[in-house]
A and B are shown apart, each in its own frame.
Chain A
Amino acid sequence: MTAPAVLPKLVGQRVRRREDPRLIQGRGTYVDDVTIAGLQHLAFKRSDIPHGRILSIDTSAAEALDGVEAIFTGAQIAEFLGPMPVPTPFPAPEHRAVAADVVRYVGDPVAVVVARDRYLARDAADAITVDCEPLPAVVDPEAALSGQPAVLHADFPNNVAVGPLPAGTGVGRGGQVDDSAVDGAFAEAEVVVSQRMVNQRLAPTAIEPRGVVAHFEPGKETLTIWSSTQNPHILRTHVAALTGLGQDQVRAIAPEVGGGFGAKINIYGEDLVAAAVSKRLGLPVKWVEDRSEAFLATIHGRGIIGYVDIAARRDGRVLGLKLRLVADIGAYNMLLTAVVPTQTMRMANGTYAFPVVRATLTEVFTNKTPTDAYRGAGRPEAAYFVERAMDMLAREIGMDPAELRRRNFIQPHQFPYKTQVGALYDSGDYEKALDRALEKAGWEQLKAERDAARADGRLVGLGLSMYVEICGLGPSARLPNGGWEYSQVTVERDGRISATTGVSPHGQGNETTFAQMLADQFGVPLEHIRIHHGDTAVVKQGIGTFGSRSQAVGGAALHLAGGKVKTKMAKFAAALLEAHEGDLVFENGRIAVAGAPAAGKTFAEVAAYAHRPVKLPAGLEPGLSEEAFFEPPNNTYPFGCHIALLEVDRDTGEPRLLRMVAVDDAGNLINPLIVEGQIHGGLTQGIGQALVEEVVYGDDGQPLTGSLMDYAIPRATDFPRFELDNTVTPTPVNPLGAKGVGEAGTIGSTPCIVSAAVDALGGFGVRHIDMLLRPEKLWRIIHGGNA
């Protein structure tokens, strides 16, 4: 008998993503690849004005086209589809998937065409004429607070959707406010920095736009819906409720999903309309978003103005922070629209022990596409406001920005740390991340190089930012659909392992990381394990992928389910081997008594026995399949430090990023390669916000960035090679010690790019530059505002 091969431990290893070969070879199946006999295609007629009352809709020319199956206006849809779900704790105006009386943003649907093919559907939508009485467009969120030039929703005077909502020091549970402590801190300050900052709107821009196929089968009375979603189970819940079906009648499938970045958490009108129309007509229907349609019809992110004040002493000790937020949420509340800006409030402390903090939030309706979660969802905005203000303070008192941070960190022994705004930080060691980043970047030498370059007349700047963010979303009390996660692990008859997870990966690599975990847990090869996800008929329960939760919450559920199966399998093995189950080890594809591997059984032998237990051990049921729900007691709070070196061209104003160093702490890492991939993507989007991305609306409410020609997204080749490192501070809130990493890169990078630009142009007296850092803007600063 040959000695059993030794299987290496995989957790913590740089295992390459198992999902990549099929995706890069074009073998993935996306929503648009789904075809069904008799499939009909939807096209939405959308408003091309930002605000108006619908007077009449003429569909006759469209109906006359051969191959048009049906056309429904908003009023007709309303007869068989209820208003959009808005399960957040704030009051929200009624929102119809297809507008029936008033349109409130360019892109608001007014009718839907059902036709034989998508080209015909498009032609028919163009042939519909909509007569609208234009109403004034509400564009500037701050001006809108006076109720001018119009009010979007009659029940929301002055366009106030939420607020003003106070949080922090001196704010009681009932919302009563006592200003004395905050005022006291500012009164006692030797220096106060204050700045209004705009965190501009962004378009999430996944490589795959949204899409849906809905198939109601009248005979079976079941509806199957394929959607490019991050959370098929939540979609199923809402689709069932709105189409009058039970959850047992609806199956939601997220096939391959080409990126989401938060934008595909939402329950969109198009998905609900597709389901309702399919049920109504008894026909399968498909809708796939056009690229330019995505800029209007898919939620935007960010879009928030912050007024930041920091009170401090000249020795760099911070005394207090005030953050007043005005969020431009667009025309309606989507799933989490109202909640996202509250996360900005929640992270107002940053990594610092501010003795007092006061945050105030007002959310405003405007005639724009609604905002909602976009990678980071509220935390990038908080990090931006706090870190930019800290940077201004450092400049103001002439202190090294790293030193200023160091003097104010929450200290490791203070965790768990309850912040002034009510977040309970799980664990942290901020100084360690700072030091690692300073070392990696060569901070002192970089400063010298910068100064030397300046002496040569070059405009070079250094930026540094810390961040702390919220991951592992749950717990259930904080999420409208619950904050747990689910997993089922099955050891099959042949010794292979099938596992299901309620998270719905679309780029996160869980097919790889989860398999790594099970491989180690059971001592079997990675190739013998398959992770199933994204289908409510296969995965019995689930919440989904968002808020950097898949590892910290989904991974924990998997770990628990795997542990249950392992315990049961050990019992079968103990019976077979006539050994004590506590003495058994699962290793190298075998289950054996510790120290005597050759005498054991193969994993497959034990699996076969469990499925045909000729002599069933007492107290056991046949089979090896167990499930687990994991409810996290708290969020995790990963953190890090990012450093950028940037140069501005004196003649043209063009900024060029020279170096980007990122040190992130996401707790224990299952797969550092995948973690780095997540950080690369996050950094790219975070830097993208600073340098190239911005959703722009004209004063008339018309979107000006309606295509990828006008809205730039950065590409892999646009930035220097990122220099990454990490520290490891495990979290106590889950059994893995993993914190989550999906959004981190986006959160820390943006402020440090802007700070680097301010540093580069500091000689021209500038204290802050609003994003994006357009060459013209920088050039005007260099040239004192003279064109």
Chain B
Amino acid sequence: MAVIRDMMPAFELFQPTTTDEALGLLDEYRERAWVLAGGLDSFDWLKDRVKRPAAVVDLGGVEALRAIRPAGGGLEIGAMATLREVSRSPDVRERYALLADAAEIVASPQIRNQGTLGGNLAQDTRCWYYRDGWNCYRAGGTICYADTPTAMNREHCILGASRCVAVNPSDTAPALVALDGELEIHSSGGTRVVAAEDFFVGPDVDIMRMTVLEPGDLLTAVRLPDTWAGARFYFEKSRDRQVWDFALAAVASAAKITNGTVEDIRIVVNGVAPTPLRLRASEDAVRGRQLNDEVAARAGEAAVQGVRPLNHNGFKVALLRNLVMRAVRGGEA
């Protein structure tokens, strides 16, 4: 239902300047707190009056969370680095162009100037029923409105759904998974490091969350190991409108190729499943082989094994296949 809600309801605003101060506040307010990074997902929720936190913890003043610096042969990117800072960082560009390309195609320049890498990874799904405040599974209810006979679901899952059919919308997420990235999470209870692939959770694990982040948790940094630095990268995102738009399907791939033979490859897609999805069968179809159209076609076929399209998103199957084929070919026709 279209209800007008651009005015945010009242909340307490905190603007800490250190990570510890932020953690203290998150610990105090727990599930009543909202972490605010660039605000591009957050403000939607607040202006739509669907989420009503008591306290908002604005990380904008925590300088320590913004740095991009070499670490252990790889790179560490602060959660509060903006998407623009990520895409323009020479370190990222030179060695991890895949992430730079993904960050560069998010939304619009204004949003990339304001939105952060941490926020982009932790952002919520765009399912319109859920975002409009309908009491669906993800909101704690007992139904998925997007998976009913009259539902509008052309932008939803074709793979990996479990009750909820909403997809992960992040462009940087598949790139991070493809690069074997890791995420550093702090809470008052301590620090943990999670592999990117494990950071995102599907509804089969927890239907009310998109990531492992829990109340009290603060994502502080993203780490990129040197495993894929300088590999052959491919990122492509298909969308309805050639202006800013979320992905109907996106593919991120990193490959090591010697004399035309694929020594190793990562193929990760997003926009088609509840989490960014590493396509191991497609990778297996390519690994160790000479790169050619036939191999690419086989990877494409492997990608769509087991798809379960909904009423209106059958086109995503062919889209996924085609994007995977292009990713394997790496942009060469």
Question: Could you list which residues of chain A lie within 8 angstroms of chain B, going by C-beta atoms?
Answer: 43, 46, 48-49, 106-107, 118-119, 122-123, 126, 290-293, 295-296, 651-652, 654-656, 691-692, 698, 702-704, 706, 709-710, 712-715, 717-718, 774-776, 779-780, 783, 787
Can you list 27 residue pairs at the A/B interface with Cβ under 8 Å?
A: A46-B4, A48-B1, A48-B2, A106-B1, A106-B2, A107-B2, A119-B7, A123-B7, A290-B6, A290-B7, A291-B6, A292-B5, A293-B6, A296-B2, A652-B238, A652-B322, A654-B239, A655-B242, A691-B242, A698-B152, A702-B1, A709-B44, A710-B128, A712-B244, A715-B108, A717-B109, A787-B309
Among B141-149, B212-220, B310-318, which stretch is in contact with chain A? B310-318
Closest to A296 in B: B2
- Smallest Cβ distance from B329 to chain A, in angstroms? 11
Q: Which residues of chain B come closer than 8 Å to A691, judged between CB atoms?
A: 241-242
Q: Which residues of chain B come closer than 8 Å to A713, judged between CB atoms?
A: 243
Asked if B243 and A718 make an inter-chain contact with CB atoms under 8 angstroms apart, the answer reads yes
Q: How many A-B residue pairs have CB under 8 A?
A: 95
Q: Does B9 sit within 8 A of A, measured CB to CB? A: yes
Asked if A122 and B7 make an inter-chain contact with CB atoms under 8 angstroms apart, the answer reads yes
Known: A119-B8, A123-B9, A774-B240. Contact between A779 and B1, CB under 8 A?
no
Task: Select A119's contact among B10, B309, B322, beta carbons within 8 Å.
Answer: B10
- Smallest Cβ distance from B145 to chain A, in angstroms? 12
Known: A292-B4, A776-B315. Contact between A651 and B44, CB under 8 A?
no
Closest to A703 in B: B2
Q: Which residues of chain B come closer than 8 Å to A123, judged between CB atoms?
A: 7, 9
Q: Which residues of chain A come closer than 8 Å to B186, judged between CB atoms?
A: none
Task: Select A776's contact among B3, B7, B154, beta carbons within 8 Å.
Answer: B154
Asked if B2 and A706 make an inter-chain contact with CB atoms under 8 angstroms apart, the answer reads yes
Q: Does B245 sit within 8 A of A, measured CB to CB? A: yes
| 8 smallest beta-carbon distances between A and B, as pairs | A290-B6, A787-B314, A122-B7, A651-B322, A706-B2, A293-B4, A692-B241, A652-B238
Known: A293-B4, A776-B154. Contact between A652 and B319, CB under 8 A?
yes
Known: A119-B10, A291-B6, A292-B6. Contact between A704 and B242, CB under 8 A?
no
Q: Does B49 sit within 8 A of A, measured CB to CB? A: yes
Question: Could you list which residues of chain B lie within 8 angstroms of chain A, going by C-beta atoms?
Answer: 1-10, 44, 49, 108-109, 126, 128, 152, 154, 238-245, 248, 309, 314-315, 317-319, 322-323, 325-326
Q: Report Cα–Cα, A49/B317, bound state, in Å.
A: 35
Known: A119-B10, A122-B7. Contact between A787 and B2, CB under 8 A?
no
Q: Which of A652, A706, A718 has the most CB of B within 10 A?
A: A652
Q: Which residues of chain A come closer than 8 Å to B244, judged between CB atoms?
A: 712, 715
A-B contact sample (8 more), CB < 8 A, given A46-B4, A48-B3, A710-B128:
A48-B2, A106-B2, A123-B7, A651-B322, A651-B325, A652-B238, A709-B44, A776-B315
Known: A712-B244, A776-B154. Contact between A783 and B5, CB under 8 A?
no
Q: Which of A49, A118, A119, A776 has the most CB of B within 10 A?
A: A776
Q: Report Cα–Cα, A753/B317, bound state, in Å.
A: 28
Known: A698-B152, A775-B238. Contact between A715 and B243, CB under 8 A?
yes
Q: Which residues of chain B come closer than 8 Å to A715, judged between CB atoms?
A: 108, 243-244
Q: Report Cα–Cα, A651/B315, bound state, in Å.
A: 11
Asked if A654 and B238 make an inter-chain contact with CB atoms under 8 angstroms apart, the answer reads yes
Q: Report Cα–Cα, A119/B315, bound state, in Å.
A: 43
Q: Report Cα–Cα, A704/B128, bound state, in Å.
A: 9
Q: Which residues of chain A come closer than 8 Å to B248, judged between CB atoms?
A: 775
- Smallest Cβ distance from A691 to chain B, in angstroms? 7
Known: A107-B2, A787-B314. Contact between A714 and B9, CB under 8 A?
no
Give the interface SS of chain B, mostly helix, strand, loop or mixed. loop
Task: Select B243's contact among A48, A119, A291, A714, beta carbons within 8 Å.
Answer: A714
Q: Report Cα–Cα, A43/B6, bound state, in Å.
A: 11
- Smallest Cβ distance from B127 to chain A, in angstroms? 12
Closest to A700 in B: B150
Q: Which residues of chain A come closer than 8 Å to B315, judged between CB atoms?
A: 776, 779-780, 787
Q: Which residues of chain A come closer than 8 Å to B44, judged between CB atoms?
A: 709
Asked if A692 and B242 make an inter-chain contact with CB atoms under 8 angstroms apart, the answer reads yes
Q: Which residues of chain A come closer than 8 Å to B319, judged between CB atoms?
A: 651-652, 779
Q: Report Cα–Cα, A593/B91, bound state, in Å.
A: 72
- Smallest Cβ distance from B250 to chain A, in angstroms? 11
Known: A119-B10, A122-B7, A775-B238. Contact between A712 and B322, CB under 8 A?
no
- Smallest Cβ distance from B244 to chain A, in angstroms? 7
- Smallest Cβ distance from B223 to chain A, in angstroms? 32
Q: Report Cα–Cα, A697/B116, bound state, in Å.
A: 34
Q: Which residues of chain A come closer than 8 Å to B325, judged between CB atoms?
A: 651
Q: Which residues of chain A come closer than 8 Å to B108, judged between CB atoms?
A: 715
Q: Which residues of chain B come closer than 8 Å to A783, judged between CB atoms?
A: 318
Closest to B126 in A: A709
- Smallest Cβ distance from B210 to chain A, in angstroms? 18
Asked if B242 and A656 make an inter-chain contact with CB atoms under 8 angstroms apart, the answer reads yes
Q: Which residues of chain B come closer than 8 Å to A775, judged between CB atoms?
A: 238-240, 248
Q: Report Cα–Cα, A783/B6, bound state, in Å.
A: 41
Asked if B318 and A787 make an inter-chain contact with CB atoms under 8 angstroms apart, the answer reads yes
Q: Which residues of chain B come closer than 8 Å to A118, judged between CB atoms?
A: 7
- Smallest Cβ distance from B132 to chain A, in angstroms? 9
Q: Report Cα–Cα, A273/B3, bound state, in Å.
A: 21
Q: Report Cα–Cα, A48/B44, bound state, in Å.
A: 19
- Smallest Cβ distance from B55 to chain A, in angstroms? 17
Q: Report Cα–Cα, A704/B150, bound state, in Å.
A: 14
- Smallest Cβ distance from B158 to chain A, in angstroms? 11
Q: Which residues of chain A come closer than 8 Å to B239, judged between CB atoms?
A: 654, 775
Q: Report Cα–Cα, A715/B326, bound state, in Å.
A: 28
Q: Which residues of chain B come closer than 8 Å to A703, judged between CB atoms?
A: 2
Asked if A776 and B2 make an inter-chain contact with CB atoms under 8 angstroms apart, the answer reads no
Q: Report Cα–Cα, A780/B309, bound state, in Å.
A: 16
- Smallest Cβ distance from B126 to chain A, in angstroms? 8
Q: Which residues of chain B come closer than 8 Å to A787, judged between CB atoms?
A: 309, 314-315, 317-318
Q: Which residues of chain A come closer than 8 Å to B317, judged between CB atoms?
A: 787
Q: Which residues of chain A come closer than 8 Å to B243, judged between CB atoms?
A: 692, 712-715, 718
Q: Which residues of chain B come closer than 8 Å to A293, judged between CB atoms?
A: 4, 6
Q: Which residues of chain B come closer than 8 Å to A651, judged between CB atoms?
A: 319, 322-323, 325-326
Q: Which residues of chain B come closer than 8 Å to A710, judged between CB atoms?
A: 128
- Smallest Cβ distance from B185 to chain A, in angstroms? 29
Q: Which residues of chain B come closer than 8 Å to A779, judged between CB atoms?
A: 315, 318-319
Q: Report Cα–Cα, A718/B107, bound state, in Å.
A: 12
Closest to B3 in A: A48
- Smallest Cβ distance from B328 to chain A, in angstroms? 13
- Smallest Cβ distance from B233 to chain A, in angstroms? 19
Q: Report Cα–Cα, A126/B10, bound state, in Å.
A: 14
- Smallest Cβ distance from B239 to chain A, in angstroms? 8
Q: Which residues of chain A come closer than 8 Å to B241, judged between CB atoms?
A: 691-692, 712, 774
Q: Which residues of chain B come closer than 8 Å to A107, judged between CB atoms?
A: 2, 4
Q: Which of A106, A655, A704, A706 has the most CB of B within 10 A?
A: A706
Q: Report Cα–Cα, A118/B5, bound state, in Å.
A: 12
Q: Report Cα–Cα, A273/B196, bound state, in Å.
A: 54
Q: Report Cα–Cα, A597/B258, bound state, in Å.
A: 83
Q: Report Cα–Cα, A783/B49, bound state, in Å.
A: 42
Q: Which residues of chain B come closer than 8 Å to A652, judged between CB atoms?
A: 238, 319, 322-323
Q: Report Cα–Cα, A290/B240, bound state, in Å.
A: 26
- Smallest Cβ distance from B39 to chain A, in angstroms? 15
Asked if B245 and A126 make an inter-chain contact with CB atoms under 8 angstroms apart, the answer reads no
Q: Which residues of chain A come closer than 8 Å to B6, judged between CB atoms?
A: 290-293
Q: Report Cα–Cα, A783/B238, bound state, in Å.
A: 17
- Smallest Cβ distance from B61 to chain A, in angstroms? 24
Q: Report Cα–Cα, A656/B243, bound state, in Å.
A: 11
Known: A691-B241, A704-B152, A787-B314. Contact between A290 and B322, CB under 8 A?
no
Q: Report Cα–Cα, A290/B243, bound state, in Å.
A: 23
Q: Report Cα–Cα, A330/B9, bound state, in Å.
A: 32
Q: Which residues of chain A come closer than 8 Å to B4, judged between CB atoms?
A: 46, 107, 290, 292-293, 296
- Smallest Cβ distance from A330 to chain B, in angstroms? 15
Q: Which of B126, B243, B325 has the most CB of A within 10 A?
A: B243
Q: Report Cα–Cα, A775/B238, bound state, in Å.
A: 9
